[in-house]
Chain A
Amino acid sequence: MKIGKKLRSIWHNIYYTMTFRKGREFAMRCKDVVHQIDLRNENQPGLQKFRINLHLSLCQACKNYSDASLAIRQAVRNAVKLQEQPERLEKLNNNLLKKYSEK
């Protein structure tokens, strides 16, 4: 595997793992961290600034992903709920009970 492709693969794995598995928790923690960081502070060394910028970018990406995930989940829940038919289900339950009980 070429080094570029390998790096890309590693980066994807990290990013994907973070957004999928820990995105929500990560975004929550990020929110607290973001409030404490002052990027306009000129006294911070370059590397630290780079780290902070990277951290903020990832935070934003995770937050967007997390928000989108929650919105999608709620949308599907609502869509499924709109199709609920309690009376139909009750009738089905009664039919099944009649068919299978104590035979």
Chain B
Amino acid sequence: MKSSGQSGHCLVNSQTIDLLQKRDAVFLKQIFLDTNPLLARVCVANSVLNENADELIQQTWETFFANLEQFQGRSQISTFVCGILLNKIREYRRSIAKFVYEEDSEKILNQAFSHDGWWRNPPHNAHKLIELQQDGDMIRQCLEGLSENQKAAFVLKEIEEEGNEEVCKLLGINVVHLGVLIFRAKDKLRKCIEGHSTEKGG
């Protein structure tokens, strides 16, 4: 996962691991600066806001430092930490009964197209979507309809622009499954946003 800072700390070598184990203040400050904005965005996309987001991010770092010996530098720090956060979010959303389970991707994909292979519900003119881009509440409401993996895949790939390999590693899936998750996430978001557009008479 790429770093948003300029420190180059995401290259995990033995020196980096050493600094982590020593809890070097300058190094940790940079790590928090680089990684926490990403963690905060992942929380927002999962409707975990304000105090709840702070709490989950703190729990994430607690788990990371408690299991520091397991971090052997095979993945970048932000990737490793983001993986912990995604698990925390899943636990949290289960606890508040807002967990959205995965549907049968193959079935959904087939339902998206008609017998002659065309869209059952083709994308509308994108201008309608653009008109609604400022409606943050509506978008977050639409994000709620995605499964946990769809949300994570969409945010990491489309918003954070991470590479396929990193996202697959984080979610424990292969690239074909990632493709289906992204397709399904976009399809659900499109239908949800277009639905709002129709309601508003757009």
Q: Which residues of A contact B (CB under 8 A)?
A: 4, 8, 11-12, 15-16, 19-21, 61, 64-65, 67-80, 82-85, 88-89, 92-93, 95-97, 100-103
Contacts and interface: CB of A to CB of B under 8 A. Distances in A.
A103 B22 CA distance: 8
Contacts of A83: 44, 49, 136, 140
B37 A68 contact: no
Contact of B182 (A20, A78, A95, A96): A20
Interface centre among B29, B109, B186 (most CB of A within 10 A): B186
B139 A78 contact: yes
Interface of B: 22-25, 28-29, 32-33, 36-37, 40-41, 44-45, 49-50, 54, 57-58, 61, 65, 109-110, 113, 115, 117-119, 122-126, 129-130, 132-134, 136, 139-140, 143, 154-155, 158-159, 179, 182-183, 186, 189-190, 193
Contact of A95 (B45, B58, B133, B136): B58
Contacts of B183: 16, 19-20
Contacts of A93: 29, 32-33, 36
Given A97-B29, A100-B28, A65 B158 contact: no
Contacts, number: 127
Given A20-B183, A97-B28, A80 B45 contact: yes
B159 A92 contact: no
Contacts of A79: 44, 136, 139-140, 143
Given A71-B129, A76-B139, A92 B23 contact: no
A72 B40 contact: no
Given A8-B115, A75-B139, A75-B193, 7 more contacts: A67-B123, A75-B133, A79-B140, A80-B45, A84-B41, A95-B58, A97-B29
B91 to A, nearest CB: 20
Q: Is the interface of B mostly helix, strand, loop or mixed?
A: helix
14 contacts: A8-B115, A61-B122, A69-B186, A70-B126, A76-B158, A77-B159, A79-B44, A79-B140, A85-B40, A89-B36, A93-B32, A95-B58, A96-B61, A102-B22
A101 B23 contact: yes
A77 B44 CA distance: 11
Nearest to B26: A101
B139 A96 contact: no
A84 B43 CA distance: 11
A78 to B, nearest CB: 5
A97 B193 CA distance: 40
B68 to A, nearest CB: 10
A101 B28 contact: yes
Contacts of B32: 93, 96-97
Contact of B61 (A78, A82, A100, A102): A100
A34 B138 CA distance: 36
